[in-house]
Amino acid sequence: MEALIIVAHGSKMKSSNDEIVTIVEKIKESNENTNLHVFHAFLESTDPSLFISINNAISKKCKKIKIFPYFLAAGKHVTEDIPCEIKKFKKQYPELEFILLPHIGLCNGIENMIISNS
């Protein structure tokens, strides 16, 4: 079993958080016949936290947990906060594989996506 956790900043505005939930639901629908469990998480202002979502993945018996930072740039959350949380879990669960994926700004094709939507 494998997990993908989309982690975003989180907002006091419900509509902003709902965008992340909608994206995760679309990913779940397109992967419903696979062994991929997809979760969302937020770092601030709302739940579930990254801690909760990682624990949910572990409870689903996921052995590989990929974390996708839903951030455009490599600020403090991407370079420090998320890796720090992952490090704690790696120490507690050395038998599990935790993979920090590149944030949106480093994803291949981001420039083409921007051009195609302009």
| Residues acting as catalytic residues | 9
Backbone angles phi, psi at 49, to 5 degrees: -75, 170
> Rounded CA gap, 86 and 89, in Å?
5
> Rounded CA gap, 54 and 3, in Å?
9
Within 10 A of 66 (CB to CB), how many other CB atoms are there? 18
